[in-house]
Chain A
Amino acid sequence: MAKKEKKSKLDAKDNGTRNIVIGMIILVIVVGAITAITKSRTNSHATAPSAVATSDGYGIEFNKSAPVKVDFYEDFQCPHCRDFEVVNNTYINGLVTAGKIHAVYHPMSFIGPESILTAAASACASDQGKFLEMHKALYQNQPATENDGTWTNAKLVQLGQSLGITSSAYDNCVNKGQYINWVNNVENYAGSQNINSTPTVLINGKTLPQGDYLDPVAFQAAFNAALKASRVK
C-alpha cells in the first residue's frame, strides 16, 4: 500500500517535468513562428534609395517613361546572374543610357547575408548615380563561394570608391546599413510575385523563358519584339 502511494507520487513529479518540457517546446514554436512572421513583414517606413518607386516593387528604376518595362530579379551572389550580366551587360546598359528601356532592378538576397550587404550597397551607389557601375563591379568581383567573407561593409566602401564615388554619404550609407530594411522589402515583393530563381527577367510583365538567359540574341529579340508591339499600340 505504502509502496503504491510512493510510486504515484513519483509519477506526479515526472508529469510535472514532462509538462514543463511540453510547455517549453510549445513556447519555442509559437515565439519562433510569430517572430518569423513579424520580421518578414514589409516595412513601409524603410528608407529607400531615391531611384525607387514602391509601386514597382521597391525596384531601382531608370527611364520611367520608356515604352518597354524590363524587371531584373537577381542576386549579386548568384553565378548565373553573373553569366547573364556577362552576356547582356553591354547591350542592356546601352539601352539604359540611351533612355530606351524602363529598367527596374530588384536586387534579391535569398543566398544569404552577403547578398543583403551587396544589395544594400548597390542602393547606396544608386543614390550617387553609380548603380550600373556598382552592378557590374559586384559581378566582376563575385567570389567563387557564396558568403565566404568576401563582402564586408569595408570592402563595399572600397569598391564604391574605386568606381569614383567620393561622397562620404555613400560610406555612411553602407556602414550604417541604411537600406537593409529596403532590401527586405525587395525580397518580400519578389516573393509575392512568385519569383523563385535568379536571374528572372520580365519584359513588359512576360517572363523570359529559362533557356534564353545565356543567349544574347534571345534577350535582344524579345526586347525588340516588345518595342515593336508598343509602337503598334
Chain B
Amino acid sequence: MKKFFTTQAQPWITLLARLILGGVLLAAGWIKAMTPTEAQSSVRVYQILPTGVANSFGLILPWLEIGIALLLVIGIWVKWSGFAGGALMLLFIVAISQAWARKLPINCGCFGNGGITADGKVHPWVYATEIMRDTGLVLCAAFLMRFPGGKFGLDDRKGS
C-alpha cells in the first residue's frame, strides 16, 4: 500500500494539487487583474494596510497570483511555488478572520453582501466558507512542499 502510494498515486496527487492551487490562483488573479479598481477595494476592505499601501498592493497582488499559478501549473520550483501559494492562502485566512472578528464586510461593491447586510446583521457563513476554501488550498500547498515531484511538470522531466 505504501509502495503503491509512492510509486503510483503520489505523482498524480501532486499533479492534481498543482492544478487545483494553480487553477484557483490563476482564475482569482486574472479576474482581479481585469478589474483593478475592484481589486484595490478588495484589499482595502480588510482595513489592515493604510489606504495608499492597500491600493498599490491591490494592483500588484493579482500579478503575483498569476505568476505563482503559472509556475505551479507548468511545474517549476514546485516546492517553493507551492510554499508561496500556501503562504498567500494563510495570509488570506488571517485577513478574513480579523475582518470577521471586527465585523467588517469583506466583499466590496454594493452593500448587502460580504458578511454584513444593510441592516447590520453579521452572516458568519460568508466568512467561514472563504476560510474553509483557503484551508483546503493550504493543504494542497503543504502536499506540494512534501511531494514536489509529480506528473507532467517541467521539472519532472529532469533525469534525476
Nearest CB on B from A144, distance (A): 14
A79–B113 Cα gap in the complex (Å)?
A: 12
Q: Are B63 and A111 in contact (CB under 8 A)?
A: no
Which residue of chain B has its CB nearest to the CB of A24?
Answer: B70
Known: A192-B55, A210-B120. A81 touches B63 (CB 8 A): no
* Interface assignment of B23: CB less than 8 Å from any CB of chain A: no
A191/B44 contact (C-beta < 8 A), A17-B154, A33-B63, A40-B36 known: yes
Does A219 make an interface contact (CB < 8 A)?
Answer: no
Nearest B residue (CB) for A22: B76
Contact check, B155 vs A214: say whether CB atoms are below 8 A apart.
no
Please, which residue of chain A has its CB at the minimum distance from the CB of B81? A25
Contact: A110 with B59, CB < 8 Å?
no
Docked Cα-Cα span, A75 to B41, in Å, equals 14
- Chain A, 90-135, CB within 8 A of any chain B CB: 109-112
Whether the pair B108, A197 counts as a contact (CB closer than 8 A) is: yes
Interface size bucket, B side? 35 or more
Q: Which residues of A contact B66 (CB under 8 A)?
A: 28-29, 32
Q: Does B101 contact A (CB under 8 A)?
A: no
Whole-angstrom distance between the alpha carbons of A61 and B119 in the complex? 30
Is B95's beta carbon under 8 Å from chain A?
Answer: no
Which of B59, B63, B105, B110 lies in contact with A40, CB distance below 8 A? B59
In whole angstroms, what is the CA distance A187 to B37 when docked? 7
In the complex, whether A80 has a CB less than 8 A from a CB of chain B is yes
Q: Which residues of chain A from 159 to 218 have any CB-CB distance to chain B below 8 Å in the complex? A: 187-188, 191-194, 196-198, 210-211, 213-214
User: Would you give the 0/1 interface string for A2-29, flagging 1 where the beta carbon is closer than 8 Å to chain B?
Assistant: 0000010011001001100110011011
Partner of B44, one of A112, A194, A213: A194
| Tally of A interface residues using CB under 8 Å | 40
A109, B37: Cα distance in complex, Å: 8
Residues of B within 8 A of A18 (CB): 76, 154-155
Q: Does A39 interact with chain B (Cβ within 8 Å)?
A: yes
**How far, in angstroms, from A63 to B74 measured CA to CA in the complex?**
59
* Chain A interface SS verdict (over half): helix
Are B36 and A39 in contact (CB-based, < 8 A)?
A: yes
Cβ proximity bits B79-123 to A, threshold 8 Å, 1 near / 0 not: 000000000000000000000000001001111100010111000
Taken together as a complex, chains A and B put the C-alpha atoms of A29 and B66 apart, in Å, by 7
Task: Using CB atoms, name the residue of chain A closest to B59.
Answer: A36
State the CA gap A18–B77 with chains docked (Å): 10
CB neighbours (8 Å) of A214 from chain B are 118
Closest Cβ–Cβ distance, residue A163 to chain B (whole Å): 25
B59 contacts across to A, CB distance below 8 A: 33, 36-37, 40
With A11-B158, A22-B76, A29-B66 as known contacts, state yes or no: A78 contacts B60, CB within 8 Å. Answer: no
A78 to B109, CA, bound (A): 8
Q: How far is the CB of B155 from chain A (nearest CB, A)?
A: 7
Given contacts A110-B37, A191-B44, whether A33 and B110 have CB atoms under 8 Å apart is no
Report the separation of the CA atoms of residues A196 and B64 in the bound assembly, to the nearest whole angstrom: 23
List 17 A–B pairs whose Cβ atoms lie within 8 Å, in order of A's numbering.
A22-B76, A28-B66, A29-B66, A29-B67, A33-B59, A33-B63, A36-B59, A36-B63, A37-B59, A40-B37, A40-B40, A110-B108, A111-B109, A112-B35, A188-B37, A196-B41, A210-B118
A residues apposed to B, CB below 8 Å: 7, 10-11, 14, 17-18, 21-22, 25-26, 28-29, 32-33, 36-37, 39-40, 75, 78-81, 109-112, 187-188, 191-194, 196-198, 210-211, 213-214
Given A29-B67, A80-B118, A197-B105; 4 other pairs, CB 8 A cutoff: A28-B67, A75-B110, A196-B41, A210-B120
